[in-house]
Amino acid sequence: MKIREIYELAVRRGMENDPRGLDAVQKLLDKERKNYEDLKDDEKGEFDQEKLKNPYSDTRLLCGDPEKEVRRVLAGVDMEVGEVLLADRISERGTPVDLVVAHHPEGKALAALHQVMHLQEDVLAKFGIPINVAEGIMASRISEVKRGLMPLNHNRAVDAARILGLPLMCIHTVADNMVNSFLQKLMDEKKPETLGEVVKMLKEMPEYAEAVKHEAGPSIVVGSRERRAGKIMIEMTGGTGGSEDAFARLAQAGVGTLIVMHIGEKHRKEAEKNHVNIVIAGHMASDSLGMNLLLDELAGHGVEIMPCSGLIRFERKE
């Protein structure tokens, strides 16, 4: 596969698994194009053209020739300067790495991470919170994340990859959409009655089973194994953690349990106060599941996957 084909496949799968639905995502792209066409010429020069075909600001080809053929990928959760050097060292030892694939964003994709958080507004609306309330809840949190990203040295890994001549891509919300969709469908279909059954179901998946061996598996942090799960919401996409103000509204909307990758203490306390159960599935395991669902397609096209940096690699064969 060419790098361009991998990138286009990733964006396509992200859109197909977007919790907002494919039609809603296409509508957003159409709106983005209209906004672009209304810009002045000097403003168009500053516009990121990728936004016209890719709705995920945290998924980008950061450097490299899009037409390069890829036979081997070094993939991981956090691919920073050390991992870029690792790719170069592996290539130096006679196993050429054609593309470095990160899950967590780097470069301009990291700087623009806050932009994908608007996805969470529609997810909250889908679970019963009025969209005007959801937008109000998320507004201050999105601004907070944007400000927090501003001081970061975004381009360190990108600069290293560019100097070494290694193509670098990051696939963030795309993979998060895939794990979110996968687990939501599973929970909706199986309808586990208790939190203990939820944890048991997660541990039946190889990524979570492997994480258990490393003390990083699924864990109940609000509630107990005997507590009934009620309506289950998977919250694993939309850039980063949302607003703690959402928990009271989710409880009112009838959500009984959230399954998340991770949660901050402030958010956990709000969930507890509002009697919303929380199951932490595990960060690396959940990111790995989302990445694996996409990487399996690359493997099906003959691309060799070399996992590193926290990626728990398991291949699902139909």
Distance in angstroms (rounded) separating the CA atoms of residues 49 and 17: 23
Q: How far apart are the first and last CA of the chain?
A: 21
Q: Range(s) for CATH 3.40.1390 in the chain? A: 179-283
Find the mean pLDDT for residues 87-103. Answer: 98
**Among 152, 136, 149, residue whose Cα is nearest residue 243:** 136
Distance in angstroms (rounded) separating the CA atoms of residues 169 and 103: 8
| Residue 318, pLDDT score | 64
Residue pLDDT, tens place only, 25-40 = 999 999 999 999 999 9
Find the mean pLDDT for residues 289-315. Answer: 98
| Residue 317, pLDDT score | 79
CATH code for the structural domain at 179-283: 3.40.1390
Residue pLDDT, tens place only, 235-246 = 999 999 999 999
| Partners of 188 in the β-ladder | none
Find the mean pLDDT for residues 132-145. Answer: 96
Residue pLDDT, tens place only, 104-124 = 999 999 999 999 999 999 999
| Residue 153, pLDDT score | 97
* pLDDT of 210 above 70: yes
* pLDDT of 98 above 90: yes
Distance in angstroms (rounded) separating the CA atoms of residues 16 and 25: 9
**Among 110, 106, 136, residue whose Cα is nearest residue 124:** 136
Instruction: Provide the total of helices (H) and of strands (E) in the chain, helices listed first.
Output: 14, 9
Torsion of CA 248, 252, 254, 259, to 10 degrees: -10
Find the mean pLDDT for residues 83-100. Answer: 98
Distance in angstroms (rounded) separating the CA atoms of residues 95 and 108: 29
